Structure 1
Amino acid sequence: MFQLLGPVEWTVRGHAADLGSAKQRTVLAALLVDAGRLVPWPTLIDRVWDQAPATDARGVLYTYVNRIRRILEQARTSGDLTRRTVALTRRTGGYALEMEPDLVDLHRFRALVMTAYDQRLPDDERSELLREALALWDGPALADLPGTWAARMRETWSRQRLDAAVQWGRAELRLGRPEEVIGPAGELAAGYPFAEPLAGVLIRALAAAGRHAEALDTYAGVRAHLVDKLGAEPGPELREIHQAILRGSPSAGTRRPREARAARPVPAQLPAEVPAFVGRESELAALTALSRPARPPVMGVVVVSGTAGVGKSALVVRWAHRARADFPDGQLYVNLRGYDPRRPVPAADALAGLLAALGVPAPDAPADTDERSARYRTEISGRRMLVVLDNASSVEHVRPLLPGTPSCVVVVTSRDSLAGLVALHGARRLDLDLLPAPDASALLRALVGGRVEQEPGAAAALARQCARLPLALRIAAELASARPASPLSELVAELADQRRRLDLLDAGGDPRAAVRAVFSWSYRRLPADAARAFRLLGLHPGPDLDPGAAAALIGVPPDDARRLLGLLAHAHLIGPARAAGHGMHDLLRAYATDLAHTEDSEADRQAARRRLADHYRDDAGWLAFGV
């Protein structure tokens, strides 16, 4: 079995294989985390070099992969591998370890824990499964690996270990076996002094075993540590256990956790669904699939990304209302205002709101952001909850708000691709595109009514003018509704001029709905060189362009152009077009062109057009010579 829950090792027929240097073991660990699945090579490089790769990181990675492959081959040829083959294969864009996940202790642990969390299981079976899962641990995870990725995985998996230990301890207490709990819980609690649920299990076990003085001393020690380090009193569950022991209540050690949590609030913070929601059935189904517990189970994180106004929040809220029955302990929602006229919500403020919704009084919320985050993870641990983090600006905006328990699902919306959440936290991504043409027409029909049927050609043209962008379609529908006596074709004629189109689609000056204003929040976050590139790309006359044309238009070397295109793509200000190309929908192009005419000089615009013309003329010349 491959071991990640301790030092990184591979035991074959009772012997530990030599896995090479720390970097090579990190490559192996980065592949084992996603056993059986493709790991793109940029993700591998990020995990191994902490997003600061060596000069020839891809070549070095290739060397490590070949060495690992040889280790596997040697085990196979010597007969040390059974039919359960382990093979390192190269796929398009990356590498995969072709193997059954339960050959890795991490995946075995998670599978056992997920099975044990089935509420239909009797406690004796649950306890056995969790005991087996916890026995797989041999110290801190990835204990011999340096680096940020390893540290983050270590922290995340440690939380899962704590959750499993708490559930095991509670099952043992319900079975009347407190003495079984005291030793393991005490040993683990010594390393995690802020883990209140684990401390609660230990204190209950001591009380149930008749060791009331030790139980009270343990509570006092936990409380002193929390007050000293976090400036906060213990949470309501721990305080309740303490009071029960002081009263001499026999239930202090045996009360079921569901009863102990009965007074906890069940937040239902989802905002109302947007009216006249149309289409997106495949995306809703994809969200359901992505949010289901993974095999092996991990905390589900889904990132819904896309350009401004494409309907990310509307989609997630729609899905969340459909799925709320799957989250009986509540649904939390935070608008992080990452792209908003007002400043983004700081993580500390967001955590304060989340803690209040989870029943933590404001005076008990720690002042420090990291400590608030730890308290938040403690409060949400083991609860089956949905957390919607809307309108995030960056990975750092989101990271403190992630629970540490596989019982929760987190859905994040952002205009940024949030690649770090995928690379470091195993998030799954759903990129939201423009509405398909039939759905765009259906949305107009739902908002405008029978006039769409009366003028199907004008309605189709209006959908095209709005670039099939839901926000623009809704604003255009409002313009049409305000003119009930005018034909749709009249509005289409007014929107024919692209620059005037942005003025008309201003939603009465509402900065959260006006198309130009909504685009501007993405544009203003760009570095200066990327902002200039965006403006100049708007001057391109065609629907899409390749990196060579982009380099000519911007006036930079090809490598710089690729970097700038990458920044714009991450911000969803450009999108993929034909093979190796990029494009903008009409409204973004109109916005970029408008900016070019207001922020760049006529000389700069003319120079960009000349460079583009020279580029295409040179390309045509080479083609004419058959090169």
Structure 2
Amino acid sequence: MPTEDADLSELGETLRELRRRQARRSGERQLSYRELAERTGWSHGILGEYFSGRVLPPTDRFDLLVRLLGASPAEQGALATLRDRAEESRRGNRRPRELPAIGSVLVGRDAEMSALDAMPADRGPVVISGMAGVGKTTLALHWAHRIAGRFPDGQLHLDLRGFHSEGAMPPGEALNTLLSSLGVGAARIPQDADARAGLYRTLLRDRRVLVVLDNAADAEQVRPLLPPAGCLAVVTSRGQLTGLVVNDGARPLSVDLLGVEDARRLLAERLGAARVERETGAVDRIVEACGRLPLALAVVAARGALNPGFSLADIAGELTASGTATATAALADVRTAFSWSYRLLHAEAQRLFRLAGQYPGPDLTAPIAAALGGLDVMRAARILDELARARLVVEHRPGRFACHDLLRAYAQEISRTIDPEADRRAATERLLDHLVHAAGAATLVLDPLRKPIGLPAGDPPATVTRPADEAAAMAWFRAEQRVLLTALDLAVRTGLDRRAWQLAWGIVVALERDGAWQDWIAAQAVAVRAAERLGDLGAQAFSRRSLAVGHVRLGRTAEAKAHGQAGYELFLRAGDPAGAAVCRHAMAFACETEGRWADAIAHAEQALELFRQADDPIGQARALNSAGLYRAELGDLGAALADCEQALRLQLAMNDPGGVGSTLDSLGTVQHRLGDHRAAIGRYREALAVFAQAGDRISQADTLGRLGETLLATGDIEAVRDAWRQALALLEEVGHPGVAAARARLAGLDAQG
């Protein structure tokens, strides 16, 4: 039953346990999401989100769900309390717990830990500096875990990729990640980097949060990420970040190579004291060959641990045979240790390690590794485990493997020496093919009516698995979003413009679901340039249209209309009236945003005519629905009702649930303005059922807001309050910018009594 520190993940685990318990009690298998969907009328996708702990169920849904799962009346009360606490946590008091696990004992850093312990936690940032591989991150994480209890409001961790071969993480991207960790939905994150920094500091004000910023490039990258007083930033960098010390009150700590005795202790910790004591001379040669660099010593120790029959003398002999090691050139020495562990790998694992060096993403999964290596996924997973045992990669999250910058650089170096250019190019093409097909497959799960214009011909690679449902598709997109956006740049850099455009096509639906309009615009801007280089009018037109939609969503109506007009002209040149119609529809949306209803009607009517030319009934219905809404704004309610009813007939005939929901909502608006409140309430409730089935939380919230207005006109204040509370909860779940207005609306109602 519930604990005092309830959060959304705990709520999901509690629902899963109820489901398992019901199966045990009944002696039957667990109810499937589809069976629960049939009993509740909700989509199996949104049920998956509830059970996974990613989405907070509205109160009425949660109560029904726990009753269906056999909770007793007494349990229902406790479960309702658990849900309420989870909701409070989601309302801006998320407590992130992001510190990576520390799997090894810290050796030889007693003085550094004492120096850190002596630093007051309520002062400026702490900067831990030192050469690559010297153990800065290990020291920072050990200390962060040690002091985490002083920061009850959470711990953030972010790798700033300061010395990554693809370039350091820009401060704006870093702020985006940190804000997401603090529970800010993509739609609420400002476009301007300074505004992001301001929101970040505002959220952390009067809270005690530990922020670990790992692998920083310079002071300019770090400064916008520093939290306000009361919080503490711990920064690691190869540079001393003097600017932070001078201008921001940072406390510096320099980390040097291990002493000889501490280096021996590290090997003893990894290999066993008895083994080290038996061969002290060999141990000393290993320490010298590794330049007393902790990363090199760890790699060597991994080989020794994996091969307990090897003598340390043989290991030392191999290390020193190259003749490259000196006691004063630790960064050069580490290559010897790497090459030695690399040679231990099987040929297939050696090849995958080399190819992984050119992968630009932050971490690897088995399907991505399989694509790079041209392997099956199970084989790739076994090789990743082998690389992890050899300490050439680290499984920093379950199923996700990261590679130290030095190891990545080493892999790139040997790949350039061993692998022909054609092989490296083929690996990149396989990777991009995998990502394009995987994104496309997930997109078609989210939007089955979407025309697959961005999918390459032929069957997808064997590395691609189609997500089981919408929840699984969105989970995949959210896990791989940084990888997908980075792969866009990789495709452009390697001249694979067709893949760049296809990848941008494949991610728009997920970005729309999350309201990530800035990433949407960035991706489509890349796609436009790629399509222009390809000379593909249709691809250019699609991306221009997508840019129009993104700019409308951010309120940039001038840019939206410019891109919409450009897309419209390109679609006409390409002989695609349906595409041109969608551009007109986007331009109508821009005029709607500006309140220019007559212009909006004109665009919607042009869109309708073009959809008719293209014999596209789904498009016709959506244009009719928009025109009906705009006519209602101008008071032409009879024509508005006729347009929307015609739209609904077409959508029902074409089985277009998304369109049906929108048009039912529009009909509710028109009926409300006609004074037929009973009919309006009925239409709104029908729309809500459709949106709930699709898991469309933003549309549900919008419709609940309008339903509340109609209920207010009938005088049913309690029903109004219930509708607006549900709307607020949904907006808070997605971090929508309308949260403040929704709260104010509810507060105004409460003030009226």
TM-score, L = length of structure 2: 0.32
Structure 1 or 2: more strand by fraction = 1
